[in-house]
Amino acid sequence: MDYFADSFAAAFALILQLDPEIMRIVFTSVFISLSASVIAALLAVPAGVVMALNRFKGKAVIQHLLNTLMAMPTVVIGLLLYGLFSRAGPLGEWGLLYTPTAIIIAQAILIFPIMMNLTVTAVNAADPRLIPTLRSLGARTLPMMLQVIRTTRFAILAGVITGFGRAIGEVGAAMMLGGNIEGFTRTMTTAIALETSKGEFELGLALGMLLLLIAFLLNFLLSILNKAKS
């Protein structure tokens, strides 16, 4: 029991002292996941709006595919990208393996279906009069998309935040593609796994608490958005 309580106390102390190593890991983690979220959102939100606004052949198949990909294990993405980025792989020349860019790409791929699916849901849940009204007012494709995004922005942003939460909490792809290099690709989740295996329980615990804090803040933000939406 003492060991557990002592570890918590030490972890708190590390956080309060703004331990430079912890701060660097948190910064790396947030930077990577934020970058992945921005890239994924820039692609997924327009794709989701286009999909929701249009009827086309194969829409149901894409919907099923997105649902499946939402539950894709992170290690599978890590594995596939490892094959592509490793020296012998087709994109080996780019030298992306064990770089933050590789993790950003992996996380963006991981959260793209989540963001796209939640954007589709957000647009479908909008007032059914929205689209006919915009159409009757002469909205062409791009202005229509922008107005739909503007009207459903809170729900769409909630989807983006959900994606960010998934990205910052994943460990498989970050470990396989980042290589857990100190000060470079070491994220909060990979650091927790490593430090705990090394017996540095306090450091792992401090990072775990910070990760929980981020999750809490994200959820808090989501509840504010849900209120704004309604």
Partner 1 sequence: MTPAYQLSDIQVRFDSRDVLNIPSLSLSLNQSTALLGENGAGKSTLMNCLAFVQAPDQGQITLLQETIGSKLTAAQRRRIGYVTQQPYMLSGTVRDNLKLALRLQQIPRTRHDELIEKTLALVNLMPQADQDAATLSGGELKRAAIARAIVYEPDILLLDEPFSHLDQRHIRQLETSIREFAAQDGKTVIFSTHDRLQAMAIADNSINLVNGRVTSAPLLNLYHGRCQQQLFNTGHLLIHIGEVNADARHIAIDPRQIIVSDQPLHHTSMLNSFAGRLTQIAEENAQVRLMIDCGEPFYAVITPTSLHNLALQLGDTVWVNFKASAVSVF
Contact set with partner 1 (CB under 8 A): 127, 129-130, 132-140, 143, 147, 150-151
Q: State how far the Cα of 90 lies from the Cα of 132, in Å rounded to an integer.
A: 47
Compute the least distance from the CB of residue 55 to partner 1, in Å: 12
Compute the least distance from the CB of residue 154 to partner 1, in Å: 11
Structure tokens at 69: 């990909």
* 185, 28 contact by CB (below 8 A): yes
Cβ nearer to partner 1, comparing 128 with 199: 128
Cβ nearer to partner 1, comparing 137 with 212: 137
Compute the least distance from the CB of residue 200 to partner 1, in Å: 51
Cβ nearer to partner 1, comparing 63 with 141: 141
Check residue 138 and give left, alpha or beta (phi > 0: left; psi -120 to 50: alpha).
Answer: left
Residue 43 CA from chain centroid, whole number: 13
Compute the least distance from the CB of residue 120 to partner 1, in Å: 20
Residue 193 CA from chain centroid, whole number: 19
Q: State how far the Cα of 133 lies from the Cα of 129, in Å rounded to an integer.
A: 6
Compute the least distance from the CB of residue 229 to partner 1, in Å: 12
Q: State how far the Cα of 117 lies from the Cα of 82, in Å rounded to an integer.
A: 26
Fill in the DSSP letter of residue 200.
-
Cβ nearer to partner 1, comparing 132 with 183: 132
Cβ nearer to partner 1, comparing 125 with 137: 137
Angle (nearest 5°) at CA 104 between 100 and 107: 135
